[in-house]
């Protein structure tokens, strides 16, 4: 079981100010890692920092607009100055619009693609270069069940997530010789505080009807899967999209 421990590892989590990113950052700290938490909202990150420090691990805040390569380069310098290495990168930052394809605007397209795909790629490249120097690292990209299945209103978001899963395979192939494992995590709907107002009534009933295990994902489901992909327990796993979906894709 020691293989699952992340003691003294350094992890970077983007989009860590709330929701899934916040949960994953705290969960990685509970498994033993020191965390650099990133998003555009400094005040929210300070709250997460306090939560992480209660676990006894170190937390650093870095304000990051993932759409700006200069910010990602700044994050690289910050990591090297504070820790001198990075072992784990969780690319969680994303932007979602639920809207018919007919009505999607160019600005909405740009926000979804620039945040969830372009920004993710350059985080992999720039932060991954630190891992390359050390000959080892774990990159975990947040994909989605919509990379493999779809519902109305999620055309662009689904296309981005399909791209994330395919990019994950490409980077895994290219970077294996550098000791970098690249995998993706693909959840279905997750019951987080920010989603509770949406996941109820007929919407909830419709989603549950497509999940064979009969419930939504919980943050703990994602934390446990992330710890596995971040730890040495998964050292022979790369280029994989791990579905944490209660059977949603299989049933689709």
157 is a catalytic site residue: yes
Instruction: Choose among 207, 192, 204: nearest CA to 145.
Output: 207
- Give the separation between CA 127 and CA 119, rounded to whole angstroms: 12
| Angle (CA) 24 136 148, round 5° | 50
Instruction: Choose among 52, 50, 41: nearest CA to 17.
Output: 41
Whose tokens are 């992330």? That residue is 226
CB 59 within 8 A of CB 109: no
Exactly one of 95, 122, 146, 157 is catalytic; name it.
157
CB 243 within 8 A of CB 249: yes
* Positions marked active-site: 157
């Amino acid at each position: 079981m020691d293989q699952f421990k992340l003691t003294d590892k350094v992890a970077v989590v983007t989009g860590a100010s709330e929701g899934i990113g916040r949960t994953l950052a705290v969960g990685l700290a509970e498994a033993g890692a020191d965390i650099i938490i990133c998003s555009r909202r400094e005040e929210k990150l300070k709250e997460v920092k306090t939560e992480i420090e209660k676990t006894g691990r170190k937390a650093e805040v870095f304000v990051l607009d993932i759409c700006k390569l200069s910010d990602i380069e700044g994050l690289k310098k910050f990591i090297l100055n504070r820790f001198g290495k990075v072992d784990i990168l969780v690319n969680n930052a994303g932007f979602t619009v639920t809207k018919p394809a007919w009505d999607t605007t160019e600005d909405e397209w740009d926000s979804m693609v620039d945040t969830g795909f372009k920004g993710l790629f350059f985080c992999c490249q720039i932060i991954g270069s630190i891992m390359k120097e050390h000959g080892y690292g774990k990159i975990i990209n947040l994909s989605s069940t919509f990379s493999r299945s779809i519902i109305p209103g999620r055309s662009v978001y689904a296309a981005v997530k399909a791209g994330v899963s395919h990019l994950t395979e490409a980077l895994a192939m290219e970077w294996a010789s550098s000791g970098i494992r690249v995998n993706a995590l693909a959840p279905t709907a997750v019951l987080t505080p920010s989603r509770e107002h949406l996941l109820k009534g007929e919407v909830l009933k419709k989603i549950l009807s497509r999940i064979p295990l009969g419930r939504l994902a919980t943050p703990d489901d994602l934390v446990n899967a992330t710890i596995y992909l971040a730890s040495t327990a998964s050292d022979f796993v790369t280029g994989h999209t791990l579905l944490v979906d209660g059977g949603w894709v299989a049933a689709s």
